[in-house]
Each structure stands twice: as structure tokens, then as C-alpha cells.
Structure 1
């Protein structure tokens, strides 16, 4: 099993004079939160004070506090760019996420362009080598999973957003018990934020019907029957807790082996087996499960 983890000594959180920074506002959108959380986390670990940053950005201390909590007007890129320089944040993934959140907040493309004037031209720089290695072994699986919930276009955006967020917070990923698990949690949250929900449950994407079981059918009648089974299965799976849903989507709808699921999610193989057993007990009480062929889970 590939390992992407180490446990460095935890860095002490710097003590700051003055009032403690308030929490992120609950009204902040998921797109805005995607870049704000890693930026705020970097600030909290940096040792800077809002007063010091205010003299460098420049932005009034009160406005900088609002920016860090996601309240007030959506910030212009020229401000975020200066902040990124002070906090030593990579600007390419930050700009990608900032731009998407701006458009979702109702800002025009002209506003986005004007906001970027006067800053260094954004060009994709290289992420850490470990980030590239992690992407190389997870990207196909991420796209398979996201495609169950999202159209192809939105799926691609969600996966790219995931790697951008991961890049911004990669120090945290490496200091976590397993970087693959850290990255998977980002993917799940990103996909969930972009997925249509009904009755608080994710709705199946049309792409989800492109399953291994459907490809095995040789007749129109068989395909229609399999489509109905897939819809019934997904409706039941959508009621499962997150980790059980993840495992069952990959195992039942995408045909992944238990070993592949373990590698992708960064969890022990025994956890995959036990999670699947718990999920199957629920599903058996809800629908008639089709047999799982080619592998046992014990």
C-alpha cells in the first residue's frame, strides 16, 4: 500500500495580542470557504497579527478581520494576492478557487478581470512532488466517484478544485495520519457541495448509470432492468453515512475491488470490509441486493 504520511513535531500556535479572530460566518458559500479556510489556517499558523498584515496588504485591520471571517464585500484579487505573498501561499490554486467563488457570488467576468489588474500574471507553478504523486494514483478514482453525482463538466471542476484545495493545505495533509484520507475528505466535501440534493440526500447523476453491471447487459431488456436496479440501489445507498456511502458507490456502482477502495480512501482493508458489511445489512433491509461477484469480504 502506498504511504503518504509523516508525523513531524506539531508547531506551537503563536500567541497574538488583542481580540481573537472570530469564526467564519455561516453564510459563507462552499466555494468561498474552499479558499478562505486554508488562507485563514495559514494566517493562524504564521505568527502575523492583523495589524501587521494590515500595514502590508494594505487593508484596514477591521476590513482584514472581515475578510478572514468571510463577511462584508467579496474581496478583490489584488488584496488576496498581496495577502498570499505575505502568507507564502501558492497563488495559482488560490486564484482558481477565488475566481470560481467570485462568479458564484454574482461577480461579473469583467469584475474578475479588473480585480486582477496590477498583479503578477497567474501561471501554473509546480505543486509539491508528493502532491503530484498523490494525484497520479488518485485522479482516475476521484473522477469515477464524482461522476456518480455530477455531470462530466461539473465533475471535472470538482476534481480540479479538490487538488487546488489540497495544494493550499498540503502541509496539513502531510502531517495528518494519511494524506490520502485527508485528500479524500476534501474530494467528498467538494463533490457534496456541488451535488443536487433532495430530502437531504444526494441525487443520482445521469453519468452514474454508466456502471460495470450495465455494460454486462447484452439486450435492451437487460439494460432497462439494470437501470431500474441501479436507481433503486443508489436511492438506498444515498441514505448511508458518508464512509459507507463512499465504499458502496465505489464497490457496487464502479466495480472497485476492496483493495482499490482501501488504497484510494487511505483506510485499512479490514475497515473497508467491515464498512461494507454494515452497509449491506442496511441495504438488505431496504432492497433486494444483487449478488456481488468475483470477491469476498472476509
Structure 2
């Protein structure tokens, strides 16, 4: 393979970890996520010149990642593992921060993550990237290849739907960078 341009390696450095975390949430297996993301980046490397001709290379790469995750789940004949993986990550973090609220965290997470899983695709992606994986609005926008305003809009709509589904009051808006 010819030497890859510095732009590829910059893209790799910027997106590899977020892509891997996203794949892990869906596949529920860190090793499988790493293998899948490696294959995605191999494809991107082999098709780098074509990707750079795209109107929005980040959005095209994001679409490839999502398609690869979906294909892997289809091959395994199962649904994504977001609910289980996200609940485990959230509970672990929360229990370490405050063991007194352990059972409340588990109870709320078990209702919240299935509600997130029922969202339309773009809202789902925004909520996973923003709140499950903890990325900022601008990082989420870069990963998905969309604008900050698009992320905020999807976030606002998703939060309204989740609040309605769980019959809870709508909290702070998505502009809050926690």
C-alpha cells in the first residue's frame, strides 16, 4: 500500500476512539468493536482519494461506520447491545461517584436507555454520542459530519420524546455542556 497522506492520519487520530466507543456500545464487545473500526479505517485508507471527493467526508465515513455496525449485527442475527452496554457503563461510573444512590441509578438507567433505543436513527445517534459516550455538541457534530445546530435540534427533539415516553418533566436543554 502506498504511504497514506497526513490528512488520513489526522482523520484517524480524530475519529478512531469515538468510532470505537460507538461500535462498542452497539456490539457489546470491545474486541469486536476494535476489529470492526479497524476494518472501517482500512476501507477509508484504500478509498481515501474518493472519500476526499465527497461533499462531506466526515458524514460519509460516519455512514460507513453505521452501515458496518448494522451489517455485523445482522451477521450475528441480533439487535444492538446499547441498552446493556450503556447501562453497565453508566452504573459503573455512577456507583463509583456515589454508592448511596446505586439502586436509583440502576432503576433510572434501565428506563432511560430503552427509551433512547426507541428514538429515530439520527436522534438516537446524537443521544448516544452526547449522553452515553459523553461527547460535547461540537465533537458530536464533527463525528456525525453535521452542524452544531443539527445536533442541538436532534437532541432537543429526542429529549422531548424521551420525557414524553417516560412521563417526566423536560430538563435543561442540550446546549448545556456538562
TM-score interval w.r.t. the shorter chain?
0.7 to 0.9
Note the C-alpha offset of 1:222: 2.2
Aligned residues: 171
Deviation per CA, 1:148-181: give whole Å up to 9, x if none. Answer: 1121111111111110121232223111122111
Higher Rg of the two aligned structures: 1
Q: Match of 2:38?
A: 160
- Runs of 4+ residues deviating >6 angstroms: none
Q: Match of 1:110?
A: none
State the TM-score, normalized to the length of structure 1.
0.50
User: Counting helix residues as a fraction of each chain, which structure ranks higher?
Assistant: 2
- Which consecutive residues of structure 1, in runs of 5 or more, have no partner in the other structure? 1-89, 91-124
State the TM-score, normalized to the length of structure 2.
0.80
Q: 1:202 to 1:245 in 2, by over 3 A?
A: same
1:20-169 mapped onto 2 (5 Å cutoff): 90=1, 126-150=3-27, 151-169=29-47
- Which consecutive residues of structure 2, in runs of 5 or more, have no partner in the other structure? none
User: Which of the numbers 123, 135, 146 marks the counterpart of 1:267?
Assistant: 146
Distance 1:250 1:289 in 2: 22
1:131–1:167 contact (8 Å) kept in structure 2:
yes
Deviation per CA, 1:84-130: give whole Å up to 9, x if none. Answer: xxxxxx5xxxxxxxxxxxxxxxxxxxxxxxxxxxxxxxxxx643332
User: Which of the numbers 228, 233, 238 marks the counterpart of 2:112?
Assistant: 233
**Larger relative contact order (CA 8 Å, sep ≥ 6):** 2
1:201–1:239 contact (8 Å) kept in structure 2:
no
